[in-house]
Amino acid sequence: MLSDEEVERYARHIVLRDVGGPGQAALKRAAVLVIGAGGLGAPALMYLAAAGIGTIGVVDDDVVSLSNLQRQVIHATPDIGRPKVDSAAERINALNPHVGVVAHRTWLNADNALELIGGYDLVLDGSDNFDTRYLASDACFLAKKPLITGALGTFDASLTTIRAHERNDKGAFNPTYRCLFPEPPPPGTVPACAEAGVMGALAGMLGSMMALEAIREIVGFGEGLVGRLLMLDARTMRFETLRYGRDPANPLNGDGPVIADLSAHRK
């Protein structure tokens, strides 16, 4: 049930035909885990909180630095040196006291991924490295949780939703992250953000789109991004969508699956 204050707070959602009271109640019941409180996680967290997600978990072991503030809008100058999960939780509580925040000050790893992910309904991966993206994807498959994963370049970005543990309307498994990207690029071929740079407002756009996709998944309206990769070019402000399917050779839900746990992610 929504309180009178919540009804007023979410009034602009509730009057939407595709959301309404039942949709807003679904958002309140939902528990969403966000991996990373950085460029993508920061705006995603704020819009998830504003939307009334009942429980939001934040996974991050980093502290706020001055160079973060060009794009990580959930943090502020006085937060420099503070753990990002603490800064994010404080900002979420100030924005919407009806939202419960669980701060996980740790990195996602092979030992904690299944336990962390297992406590939530939906996962958003805003990490900035391929190791975490593959780990989050494999863990979500094993835990049978949907995953929204975004990636940010200098002036480009991409977004997709993974429900590889489920079957489509034809009875076939949905594609995995490994169907889209079978192998990570060789080390050193993709420069880090600190080396290549990133457009701050682009991070805000993609993080907000990740939150929107999460809301659509929870409420259940529109056409989701399962099997579709949304690509954004900020130089030309061009959006394109690429459809992709399940690769029978993928190691998760392919014809001969070989990944049964996360042991390959241990280093």
Whichever domain contains 141, its CATH number is 3.40.50.720
Q: Is residue 9 part of a domain?
A: no
Query: In 75-155, which residue ranges form alpha helices assigned H by DSSP?
Result: 84-95, 113-118, 130-143
* DSSP 3-state of 241: strand
Report mean pLDDT in 10-residue bins for the chain, 267 residues.
96 98 98 97 98 98 97 97 98 98 97 97 95 96 98 95 95 95 78 77 97 98 96 97 96 95 90
What pTM does this model have? Answer: 0.96
Q: Is residue 10 part of a domain?
A: no
Q: Is residue 241 part of a domain?
A: yes
Strand order in the sheet with 238-243: 100-104, 55-59, 31-35, 122-125, 147-152, 156-162, 228-233, 238-243
Q: How far apart are CA 21 and CA 35, in angstroms?
A: 29
The number of distinct structural domains making up the chain is 1
Q: How far apart are CA 205 and CA 190, in angstroms?
A: 22
Q: Is residue 2 part of a domain?
A: no
Q: Is residue 121 part of a domain?
A: yes
Q: Is residue 11 part of a domain?
A: no
172 lies in which domain range?
17-265
Q: Is residue 259 part of a domain?
A: yes
Q: Is residue 7 part of a domain?
A: no
